[in-house]
Amino acid sequence: MKRPHAPPGTHSEAWALAPLPFTLLCLTVASVLAAHAPHMPAWYTAALVAATVARWWQRRRRRRAIPAPLRLLMLVAVPLAVVAVYGTPFGREAGAAIVCGLLVVKIMESERLRDARMTVGFACFILMSALLFDQSLGFTIFVGLLLLPPLATLRALEPGLPGHGWLPAFKPGTVLLAASLPAALLGFVLIPRLATPLWGAPDSGVAHTGVSDRMAPGDLHSLLTDNTVAMRVGFDGPPPPESQRYFRGMLLWSFDGRAWLPGTAARRAVRPVPVGVRGAVTHYDVTLLASHQHWMFALDVPLDSPEGALLGPDHTLWSIKPINQTLHYRVASATDYRLAPAPLDPRIRAAALELPDGFDPRARELAARWRAAAGKDDARIVRDALELIHNGGFVYDLDAPPLGRNSIDDFLFDTKTGFCEHYASAFTFLMRAAGIPARVVVGYQGGYWNAFAHYLLIRQSDAHAWSEVWLTGRGWVRADPTAAVSRVVTADAGGALGDVGGGDRVWWMPWQNRLDVINRWWGQTVVGFDALKQSRLFSPFGIRHTTAQMLGIALAVSVFLALALGALLASARPRSKPRDTLAAAQLRVQARLARIGLVRGTAEGPRDFYRRSAIALPGLAPSLQALSTEYLVLRYAYSEPPPERIRAFVRSVRKFHPRRVVK
């Protein structure tokens, strides 16, 4: 539909979209897709972007909507594609993919101002829903900046904007977005919060961060190359040395020939085994990011369980509810201890010695030779295994070759290349084959100590697996066979090799670790500002519990003070100042003409005054005529003149300098 000619100020809601507003509308849709791209399939995002670009190009060539049959086909294809990928139309990921697809379908039919305004509103809602997936500081700023294209589109839909006015379209939205920050901060702090969200979204149940309860060769590879934050730990005193920074998550007892699993020995109904604490107890706070799993992580051997968690028989922590959001908890742990020094329960001993039949005969034969040589000296067998790994030509390398059915034999005698899960699996197998109770522990090791903010930063790349063996009189003793490897091959893993004490392999990793203090502050101060923290908002003033009525009063007082300050500033302005910019520019023209003898009469209208001035000043007649026409249009043709045209008129007035003196 072609835009008809109409005088300025005419109601234009039925007009077709001009090129600039439609281009900004397509940019708005692309911004929404950019915000949701991290959690949508790459091919799906690329298809939606391609459809948006094709629509922009099609309308640039011919201004008409996409045929209805094609739009109907897209409307059916979007939910079908989402169900094919996610298996359901429900949940955060599937729902976000559907609404993003519907937004692209909406732009296919957007031809009028009404369509464009509806599309912008829909786009803003979808854009804000991206914060359901990521609430980090960087992503929040990114989503805030992506609000600029929708605001620019709304400005471009107003009358009076030049067809090439990209900067005038973006400027008002930028100013409004910056000016809204104080009000947003006030509402964030003082608007009463609910103890639980107003609504919930079904979750996919897939872990976004964290280790798994299954360990097979290659399973930890994705974590060891992942630099995302797993948790942050703050200690009451100095941190433990790096050799003691082992955070246990779960214990794996059962081996099926390839993978290690928790098994029945990890059931939670059994009481925790006794711990003989020999040194000082370490007290600390843990901020664990959402994993959508139940297991929690604690330094070495936790002595108690936080609220909402259970302490297992093997001293692992288990959250009663899935960890679907950042979890803060406080723990006390022992780093110098004797764990279960008393004789093992026969059932636990049997579970810690069980091996599947028909697997890895060469490893069994090696363990039998060690047992024959050591007699009853279990500690000697442990030393023999560690010496084999240290002196046997083993290599730590994330690019480990694949293993066959007898994975332990293939690793020990053929490839001799792997990472922590290979070494922990083989070591534990050898110990059991030699008659020593052993189990696999999965968790995190190491981390980066931020001396400035006094907390330990643990990333997914610090994921680790080690072993525990039971020795007579000593109980369960940690043995880390990965630490015995003498040769390490540093793969190109983006700087993530925390499993072997790395994590700073590229130049930017130390800076990323140092700057994490900003993310920590954001998580604790903003993301973690819940109803409980809000109830303690006025505790510095002696108020122990802040009620909703107090928050409402504080909000009302703040709004009243802000309005009073605005009124005070407005009243402090000089009364001689004109009411608007347009009138000020007009008075400036009259003042300059009055200085050369052309004074506007009391009953003389602006059109007649400009016409008389043009006759008196023939050399300035074109300028006076242009000023007269523009002023009359701005003053009388619009209910609210476009700011861009007012600014253009002011610039023209500044350039107007009559020099001739009229006698």
pLDDT (0 to 100) of residue 512: 62
| Nearest-angstrom CA–CA distance, 414 and 391 | 15
pLDDT (0 to 100) of residue 266: 67
Q: Tell me which H or E stretch contains 92.
A: helix 92-108
In tens, the pLDDT along 333-352 reads 998 899 988 888 888 999 99
Pairing state between β 395-397 and 417-418 = parallel
CB proximity list for 640: less than 8 A, separation 6 or greater: none
**Between 207 and 110, residue with greater pLDDT:** 110
pLDDT (0 to 100) of residue 21: 86
In tens, the pLDDT along 213-224 reads 788 776 665 556
Backbone dihedral angles phi then psi of residue 498, each to the nearest 5 degrees: -65, -20
Q: Provide the edge-to-edge strand list for the sheet that holds 301-302.
A: 301-302, 327-334, 281-288, 229-235, 455-459, 448-450
Q: Provide the edge-to-edge strand list for the sheet that holds 337-339.
A: 275-277, 337-339, 475-479, 463-471, 438-445, 246-252, 298-299
DSSP state, residue 656: -
- When mean pLDDT is compared across 29-33, 163-167, 416-420, the lowest value belongs to 163-167
In tens, the pLDDT along 528-558 reads 666 666 676 777 777 777 777 777 788 788 8
332 pairs with which residues across the strands? 283
User: Helices (H) and strands (E) in the chain — how many of each?
Assistant: 21, 21
487 pairs with which residues across the strands? 395
- When mean pLDDT is compared across 156-160, 169-173, 348-352, 389-393, the lowest value belongs to 156-160
pLDDT (0 to 100) of residue 548: 75
pLDDT (0 to 100) of residue 610: 85
Residue 198 clears pLDDT 60, i.e. is over it: no
Placement of tokens 């400036």 in the chain: 588
User: In b/e form, how buried is each residue of 465-500, taking b as 16+ CB within 10 angstroms?
Assistant: bbbbbbbeeebbeebbbbbbbeebeebebebbbbbb
302 pairs with which residues across the strands? 333
Across residues 629-646, what is the average pLDDT?
A: 83
Inter-CA distances, 468 with 14, 93, 125, 253, 501, Å: 75, 39, 51, 11, 20
CB 481 within 8 A of CB 499: no
pLDDT (0 to 100) of residue 20: 85
| Nearest-angstrom CA–CA distance, 571 and 423 | 77
pLDDT (0 to 100) of residue 574: 59
| Nearest-angstrom CA–CA distance, 273 and 296 | 18
Residue 307 clears pLDDT 80, i.e. is over it: yes
pLDDT confidence tier of residue 508, bands split at 50, 70 and 90: low
Pairing state between β 298-299 and 246-252 = antiparallel
CB 361 within 8 A of CB 303: no
Backbone dihedral angles phi then psi of residue 369, each to the nearest 5 degrees: -65, -40
Across residues 490-500, what is the average pLDDT?
A: 45
Q: Provide the edge-to-edge strand list for the sheet that holds 487-489.
A: 417-418, 395-397, 487-489
Highest mean pLDDT among 190-194, 380-384, 392-396, 525-529: 380-384
- When mean pLDDT is compared across 101-110, 325-334, 482-491, the lowest value belongs to 482-491
pLDDT (0 to 100) of residue 657: 84
Across residues 568-591, what is the average pLDDT?
A: 74
In tens, the pLDDT along 473-494 reads 899 999 999 988 877 765 444 4
The percent of residues in the chain predicted with pLDDT above 70, rounded, is 82
pLDDT (0 to 100) of residue 282: 94
Q: Whose CA is closest to 45, among 108, 119, 96, 121?
A: 96
pLDDT (0 to 100) of residue 68: 83
Across residues 643-651, what is the average pLDDT?
A: 85
Secondary structure (H, E, C), 307-331: CCEEECCCCCEEECCCCCCCEEEEE
Placement of tokens 């288990």 in the chain: 318
pLDDT (0 to 100) of residue 258: 85
Placement of tokens 């006030």 in the chain: 186
Q: Residue 147 in 3-state DSSP?
A: coil
Residue 579 clears pLDDT 60, i.e. is over it: no
DSSP 483-550: GG--EEE---STT--GGGT-S--STHHHHHHHHHHHHHHHIIIIIT--HHHHHTTTGGGT-SS--HHH
**Between 447 and 212, residue with greater pLDDT:** 447
pLDDT confidence tier of residue 366, bands split at 50, 70 and 90: very high
Q: Whose CA is closest to 19, among 111, 120, 136?
A: 111
- When mean pLDDT is compared across 175-179, 622-626, 656-660, the lowest value belongs to 656-660
Residue 584 clears pLDDT 90, i.e. is over it: no
pLDDT (0 to 100) of residue 8: 47
Q: Whose CA is closest to 422, among 576, 254, 260, 311?
A: 260
CB 14 within 8 A of CB 109: no
Q: What is the mean pLDDT of the chain?
A: 81
Q: Whose CA is closest to 373, among 384, 357, 362, 364?
A: 384
Q: Whose CA is closest to 210, among 131, 310, 139, 296?
A: 296
| Nearest-angstrom CA–CA distance, 199 and 233 | 31
Across residues 350-361, what is the average pLDDT?
A: 93
In tens, the pLDDT along 384-435 reads 999 999 999 999 888 888 888 899 999 999 999 988 889 999 999 999 999 9
**Helix, strand, coil percent values for the chain (each to nearest 5):** 50, 15, 35
Q: Tell me which H or E stretch contains 465.
A: strand 463-471
pLDDT (0 to 100) of residue 502: 44
Residue 570 clears pLDDT 60, i.e. is over it: yes
Residue 31 clears pLDDT 60, i.e. is over it: yes
In tens, the pLDDT along 54-101 reads 888 888 877 677 788 888 888 888 888 888 888 888 888 888 888 999
- When mean pLDDT is compared across 114-128, 342-356, 426-440, 494-508, the lowest value belongs to 494-508
pLDDT confidence tier of residue 203, bands split at 50, 70 and 90: very low
Q: Residue 250 in 3-state DSSP?
A: strand
DSSP state, residue 12: -
Query: ∠ at Cα 248 (454, 464), nearest 5°?
Result: 90
**Between 201 and 268, residue with greater pLDDT:** 268
**Between 662 and 260, residue with greater pLDDT:** 260
Residue 612 clears pLDDT 50, i.e. is over it: yes
Per-domain boundaries in the chain: 19-190, 221-515, 531-571, 581-654
In tens, the pLDDT along 458-476 reads 888 888 999 999 999 899 9
pLDDT (0 to 100) of residue 521: 67
| Nearest-angstrom CA–CA distance, 186 and 190 | 6
Across residues 22-40, what is the average pLDDT?
A: 90
Residue 572 clears pLDDT 50, i.e. is over it: yes
Neighbours of 31 (CB within 10 A): 19
